[in-house]
Amino acid sequence: MVNKTIQNFDELIEEVKTYIVKEENLNIIRNAYQYASEKHANQFRKSGEPYIVHILQVAYILAQLKTGPKTIAAGLLHDVIEDCAVTKEEFVERFGEEVYTLVESVTKIGNLKFNDEKEYQAHNHRKIMIAMAKDIRVILIKLVDRLHNMRTLQFMSEEKQKKIASETLEVYAPIAHRLGISEIKNELEDHAFYYLKKENYYEIARLVEMKKTERDSQVNLMLKEISDLLTANNIKFRIFGRSKHLYSIYKKMTKKQKRFEEILDLLAIRIITDTDSACYEILGHIHAKYVPIPGRFKDYIAVPKVNLYRSLHTTIMSVGNIFEVQIRTEDMDIVAEKGIAAHWRYKEGNGSKEVDQKQIEDQLAWFKEFSNMVGEVHDNALDYMNLMTNDIFEANVYVMSPKGKIVALPNGACPIDFAYRIHTEVGHKMVGATINGAICSINTPLKTGDVVDIKTSNNSNGPSEDWLKIVVTSHARNKIRAYFQKIDFERKSQDVKKGEEILKEELIKRGFEVSTYFETKKIESVGSALGCNSYVDLMYAIANKSLTAVSVVEKLTKQKVNIVRQEDALKIFNRLDRAKGRKKNAVGIKVPGIDTVKITLSSCCTPIPSDEIVGYISKGMGIKVHRSDCPNIKNEKTRLIPLEWEEEVIDHEFEVKLKILSTDRNHLLTDIVNTISQNKATMLYIETKVQTDKINVITKINVIVRGNSQLSTLLSNLRKISSVKEVQRIVQ
Ligand code: MN
């Protein structure tokens, strides 16, 4: 791209006309220019130039990239919403929704404030990505706007220069690189480098200049030799030396710890020809004449880089000098310079933005991932930025699936990283991997060109926590973490259910209405008083016995629960009970710590084996056994003792009281009495009362059963009687 400053609209149109000729399309651009120049009239940039110069320049660079008329129009209008208080209605009426959306997106990105605080910064960078991923044209306009701003940054304050330069280096240059627009990327990097590290910049520039004459003569010699060689073989070509841009030299020196001489020793030559096969032919001639350095040949024609870059690379030696040689076609060269913009050069009369966007996403596999990743929810903006920089911008190891899918991964990535990039489930079900057909351990670092095959199994136990230490991509790490969070969540929700059951049982056991007390809000406030942050935490604590259900019930009902500790109960017992030693426990109830005591079952709630029970220590009457939910003992504070049924209770008879609700009909009582006798229970009492509604009947019966199983069979048979709605044990 020529860094040429145009002075007027005619120069812009001249550039545009090299690929756009239809009047209707040119008119879109003319219209936009006219509007922009009206709106920006009397506005000036920091440089003192009229504002329209910036606008023209942005549009001019977009035209050099051969973007479509709407993109150029949006380029001309990119600052009007921001700077000229133009309303949406006015804009849309003149230029339509599509151009408006482009300009609005560009404006939004511009409005994101750049902040020094890292988290905040990451947050903004993420917003930039999201805004841009929706439409690649927005990226192009924003990149070009940034490029011109970088070219004219000298007019800003030093503070602003540093801020804008570091944002350029962290966000915009990597995007340009990933889109393969290397000419914009290189220029952005060198400008930013200048403002951020002036001393280093000048030092490298000086060294390059100093060596220039010497290097030029070496390169020129080589150019002549190769030209002669190719001409002799009747090959069409053009050849030139090329220089590295300053920031890339600096990066190599700092990252790879090399001296300047080592980097500059590499002399670079590029050969452009007309066909793919000519590229290989040229390579053959060069390798025949010069000594290639082993391991340095790369075939990006057969296996393009993820940013669509294609070329042959080789490094050769000649009379003590080392030359890097790139061989490619004209088309490949345009792609190498303009990247995505080259693939997307505007062709008049066809294409729509949806088709273009889809085409680009199809060609740039990483762009799809990029769009997907910006869509995913990340709790933390810094995590997200790490993922973008690490997994996408710094990916430079290219590996393949057996089906030929190319995946770009950062240095040090292993088959697990690869598996998660293929698909989350492939990662979760991975049990092993082969690299280039050989079985390997799953933490083997991958190299460019490796063919990686992931072995999965439906019986796999899922990812292991050790994987978190092995993987290098944020993508894989996030997926593995999410997996464990899910497992954790499932385990926790089971515990929550268990906690709820325990708490409900405890409420029932203590004679409290579950519906009154079991209420999320109440429970939560109790939870926070007990040091649990949430409902879930509280239930979890109950299930895992770090909190007793009793303590929760007490807080919840604001009542002390009525069971005294066993040793206290025994003291009370000794003090009160004069019936001690009279009769051995005869009903199959254990009284912990006491062998002989008179025990009677209370007649109000008539407990039977397997009911939860407590003992009431009566004065001189031994222990009265109540069901723990019996309302008659609910308020008893000091005289209750824990009791348990003997493991086997046989040959004891228990009286129970039942209440049957049914609608009235003939022979109802006969059916009830028959059912009782069929179940071999003894009936002691029966009464029946028609309710005031004249429809329902309540029948109360007292029966003797020999234990819990007989009772439950009886209850279920009573419930089967026609017109019976409900059968309950009652407490009086
Ligand atoms: Mn601008």
pLDDT band at 729 (very low <50, low <70, confident <90, very high): confident
What rounded mean pLDDT belongs to the chain? 82
| 631 DSSP 8-state letter | G
Q: What is the mean pLDDT of residues 426-447?
A: 92
The share of the chain scoring above pLDDT 90, in percent, equals: 27
- 219-246 pLDDT, tens digit per residue, is 899 999 999 999 999 999 999 988 778 8
CA dist 31 and 27 (Å) reads 6
Pairing of strands 298-299, 312-318: antiparallel
Is beta strand 438-440 parallel, antiparallel or unpaired with respect to 406-409? Answer: unpaired
State residue 314's pLDDT score. Answer: 92
How much distance in Å is there from the Cα of 145 to the middle of ligand 1? 5
SS3 of residue 274 by DSSP: coil
pLDDT for 23 equals 92
Q: What is the pLDDT of residue 286?
A: 93
Task: Determine contact, residues 57/13, Cβ cutoff 8 Å.
Answer: no
**Which of 128-137, 475-484, 525-534 has the highest mean predicted lDDT (pLDDT)?**
475-484
Q: Ligand 1 centroid vs 359 CA: distance in angstroms?
A: 28
pLDDT in tens, 310-344: 999 999 988 778 899 999 999 999 888 887 777 66
When pLDDT is averaged across residues 278-300 and rounded to a whole number, the result is 90
Q: For residue range 639-656, what is the model confidence (pLDDT) as tens digits?
A: 787 787 776 655 677 888
Q: Residue 431 in contact with residue 460, Cβ under 8 Å?
A: yes
Distance 14 CA to ligand 1 centre (A): 22
- Cα 62 to ligand 1 centroid, rounded to whole Å: 13
d(CA 364, CA 305): 10
Q: Helices (DSSP H) in 319-414: which residue ranges? A: 330-338, 340-343, 353-363, 365-375, 381-386
Contact by Cβ (8 Å): 241, 324? no
Structure confidence at residue 275 (pLDDT): 93
pLDDT at 198: 94
Residue of 14, 38, 83, 225 marked catalytic? 83
What's the gap in Å between 367 CA and the centre of ligand 1?
25
Q: Look up 11 and say whether it is catalytic.
A: no
- pTM for the predicted model, two decimal places: 0.56
Cα of 60 vs centre of ligand 1, distance in Å, is 13
What integer pLDDT is reported at residue 114 of this predicted model? Answer: 45
At 114, list the tokens: 């750049």
83 flagged as catalytic: yes
For residue 552, pLDDT beyond 90? no
pLDDT score, position 593:
66
Q: How far is the CA of 11 from the centre of ligand 1 (A)?
A: 19
Please determine, for residue 584, whether its predicted confidence score (pLDDT) is greater than 50.
no
Alpha-carbon distance 418 to 454, whole Å?
A: 8
pLDDT band at 595 (very low <50, low <70, confident <90, very high): low
State in Å: Cα 16 to ligand 1 middle.
20
Once rounded to an integer, what is the mean pLDDT over residues 15-21? Answer: 91
Q: Residue 94 C-alpha to ligand 1 middle, in angstroms?
A: 21
Does residue 582 surpass a pLDDT of 50?
no
CB 706 within 8 Å of CB 654: yes
Taking the C-alpha atoms of residue 726 and residue 691, their distance in angstroms, rounded to an integer, is 15
Evaluate if residue 384 carries a pLDDT over 70: no
Residue 708's pLDDT is what?
77
How many whole angstroms from 41 Cα to the centroid of ligand 1?
A: 15
Q: How far apart are CA 227 and CA 30, in angstroms?
A: 46
Cα 415 to ligand 1 centroid, rounded to whole Å = 44
Confidence of residue 428 (pLDDT cuts 50, 70, 90): very high
Residue 55 CA to ligand 1 center (angstroms) comes to: 7
Rounded CA gap, 659 and 715, in Å?
A: 10
Would you say residue 479 has pLDDT above 80?
yes
Instruction: Identify the bridge partners of residue 313 per DSSP, sorted by sequence position.
Output: 298, 326
14 vs 379, residue with greater confidence: 14
> What is the number of other CB atoms lying within 10 angstroms of the CB of residue 691?
12
> Is the confidence at residue 583, as pLDDT, over 50?
no
Residue 131 has pLDDT above 80, yes or no: no
Average pLDDT of 114-134?
58
In this structure, which amino acid lies at residue 611?
D
- Residue 540: its pLDDT value, please? 84
Residue 581 has pLDDT above 50, yes or no: no
Closest CA relative to residue 73, chosen from 106, 47, 50, 48? 106
Catalytic residue among 11, 82, 276, 299: 82
- pLDDT mean over 197-212: 89
For the chain, percent of residues with pLDDT exceeding 70: 83
d(CA 695, CA 386): 73
Distance 369 CA to ligand 1 centre (A): 29
Residue 115 pLDDT > 50, yes or no?
Answer: no
